[in-house]
Amino acid sequence: MFPTLLDRFAATLRGAELPPEDPHHRAILDTFLEVQRLGRQLTGSSPAHGRLDGTGERLIQLAERLAAGRELAVLLSSHWCCRTEEEIAEDDAEDFLSCPDEHPPTSGVVQDVLRVFADFGDPDALASADLVAALRRLPGTADDRGRYAGLTQARLAQLLSPYEISTRDVTLPDGRRRKSYRRAALADCR
């Protein structure tokens, strides 16, 4: 992860500080790294995962990789954070919320996920796809890294990974077996 210890050491030797990160650029880097990780996992070259046995698992991983690739393409094609407020207003882009200075973050991704759980009646688990679909309807941004409207399952996994929250295969009350988040794991993070 940049900046590495070596980069910080070099800056100290030069007597300078590293400039602050731009959240949009960090999102690009994080998403690129996620695309690479998912690609290695899909091709079986990821040392942590090895080869996949099930076709269903492979299709899920392919979908996650494609979603992450789409998210990266959107981030790379975005030019809004490099424009002035006047230029954005001229283009009538009030719906575009990726510039973190323009729109304050919501109360936090964990709290927003718990709010979605509450909207669903506080089930024990929610399918990742259902959770992302509900979060995409929320206004604002997810931890200064992009708007909820553009959220993907891969991006949600990235946002929740620092809290050691990940999906589990769960059979839901409607009989579907899906990658899901458990409410108990989220409640422990408050």
List Cα–Cα distances, 92 to 6, 80, 86, 87, 95, in angstroms: 43, 12, 10, 9, 8
Which of the given ranges, 16-30, 82-96, 116-130, 143-157, has the highest pLDDT on average?
116-130
Expressed as residue numbers, the domain containing 52 is 5-187
Starting at the edge strand that comes first in sequence, how are the strands of the sheet with 125-127 ordered? Answer: 125-127, 177-182, 168-171
> What 8-state DSSP symbol labels residue 150?
G
H helices of 16-120, in order, are 23-43, 55-77, 85-90, 109-119
Whether the CB-CB separation of 119 and 134 falls below 8 Å is answered with: yes
Element (H, E) at 5: helix 5-14
Provide mean pLDDT across the span 67-88: 63
Whether the CB-CB separation of 161 and 180 falls below 8 Å is answered with: no
Of the candidates 87, 86, 146, 148, which has an alpha carbon nearest to the alpha carbon of residue 112?
Answer: 148
Whether the CB-CB separation of 159 and 145 falls below 8 Å is answered with: yes
Q: Does residue 114 register a pLDDT over 80?
A: yes
Q: Is the pTM of the predicted complex or chain greater than 0.85?
A: no
Q: Output the average pLDDT for the chain.
A: 76
Provide mean pLDDT across the span 148-162: 88
Q: Does residue 53 register a pLDDT over 70?
A: no
Number of domains in the chain: 1
